[in-house]
């Protein structure tokens, strides 16, 4: 089976590595163009491109696949690369470009997507973040036959993954990336052995995981402590939580709930574990913080340079 692959970040690279280790022939990889990164803002290849080059796999990086879009020449070059690759199937994982119908129709068996949720819950761009933020007890991976809709295609394989009370997006991402790599190998092995048994997505339970915006990092201390704590875990590693204290912006990366009450945003107590801040319901002990231009630090280490006192009050978002 000739398997093309379209993906960009580390989540996708894990799946590509699983396909290569399983012995599938991968003649072509599509990934996003190199982007500036790091302090020097030098162009950096995606995790998928780096892995593909290590294995000698051809890479195409069109800025768009729309033949009638802004970059028709690049789209046409991508189309020709896909045709020349003579693919049986194209596996898609966090690619970052919309696939026009001509892409879906090019491989003999169509396109399969590795989606990090239990569809139809959390269709869209940020399913891992939104599942944690919402307080879901479980999520998972769905292998889906792609169609023209947004994560609306028939389900081929589904496996659940519990969400631990301490899971951040970074930790859950790594668990789901490994699960996605295993499931896509299973899906393609099933295809080789005789095919799938597609299941239509239920009409009930549809919700969308909208893209994470930097502005969402602002903490509203009037919310429940549990809600704020989930958001902090959901927004780690991006964009984190953010609050103003005496005119200084502090990033808040981790916190734990405390049974205490007070005016939202007020520092109720301080010890070596961190300051306790009142919320709309209960309170949070802030355990990992960051000053502008500084590093993420345990609260005790940060407070050596920037003491936080009882009675100080964080500004409201």
Tens-place pLDDT, residues 236-268: 999 999 999 999 999 999 999 999 999 999 999
Cα separations in angstroms, 137 against 58, 83, 163, 164, 166: 40, 43, 5, 7, 12
User: The pTM is what?
Assistant: 0.95
Query: In the structure encoding, which two tokens stand for residue 184, read together?
Result: 């896509």
DSSP 254-314: EEEEES---STTBEEEEETTEEEEE-SBSEEEEEEEEETTS--EEHHHHHHHS---TT-BB
pLDDT at residue 180 in the model: 98
269: β partners = 276
Q: Give the chain's domains with CATH numbers.
A: 3-209 (3.40.50.170), 214-305 (3.10.25.10)
Q: Flag residues of the chain having pLDDT under 50.
A: none
Tens-place pLDDT, residues 2-46: 999 999 999 999 999 999 999 999 999 999 999 998 778 889 999
Which residues fall within 8 angstroms of residue 202, CB to CB, at 6 or more apart? 120
Asked if 145 contacts 211 with a C-beta cutoff of 8 angstroms, the reply is: no
């Amino acid at each position: 089976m000739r398997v093309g692959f379209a993906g960009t970040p580390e989540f996708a690279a894990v799946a590509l590595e699983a396909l290569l280790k399983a012995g599938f022939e991968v003649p072509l990889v599509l990934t996003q163009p190199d982007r500036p990164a790091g302090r020097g803002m030098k162009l950096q290849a995606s995790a998928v491109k780096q892995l593909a080059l290590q294995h000698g796999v051809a890479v195409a990086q069109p800025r768009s696949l729309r033949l009638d879009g802004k970059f028709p020449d690049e789209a046409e070059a991508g189309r020709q690369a896909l045709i020349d690759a003579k693919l049986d199937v194209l596996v898609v994982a966090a690619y970052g470009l919309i696939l026009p119908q001509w892409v879906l129709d090019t491989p003999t068996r169509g396109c399969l997507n590795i989606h990090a949720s239990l569809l139809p819950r959390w269709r869209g761009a940020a399913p891992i973040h939104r599942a944690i933020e919402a307080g879901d007890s479980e999520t998972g991976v769905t292998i889906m036959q792609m169609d023209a809709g947004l994560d609306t295609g028939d389900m081929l394989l589904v496996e659940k993954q519990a969400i631990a009370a301490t899971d951040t997006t970074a930790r859950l991402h790594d668990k789901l990336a490994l699960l996605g790599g295993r499931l896509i190998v299973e899906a393609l092995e099933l295809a080789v052995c005789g095919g799938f048994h597609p299941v239509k997505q239920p009409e009930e339970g549809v919700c969308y995981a909208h893209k994470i915006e930097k502005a969402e990092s602002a903490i509203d201390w009037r919310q429940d402590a549990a809600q704020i704590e989930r958001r902090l875990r959901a927004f780690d590693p991006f964009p984190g939580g953010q609050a103003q204290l005496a005119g200084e912006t502090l990033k808040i990366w981790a916190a734990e709930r405390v049974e205490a009450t007070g005016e939202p945003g007020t520092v109720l107590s301080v010890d070596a574990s961190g300051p306790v801040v009142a919320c709309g319901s209960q309170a949070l002990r802030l355990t990992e913080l960051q000053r502008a231009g500084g590093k993420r630090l345990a609260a005790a280490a940060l407070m050596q340079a920037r003491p936080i006192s009882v009675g100080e009050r964080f500004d409201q978002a």
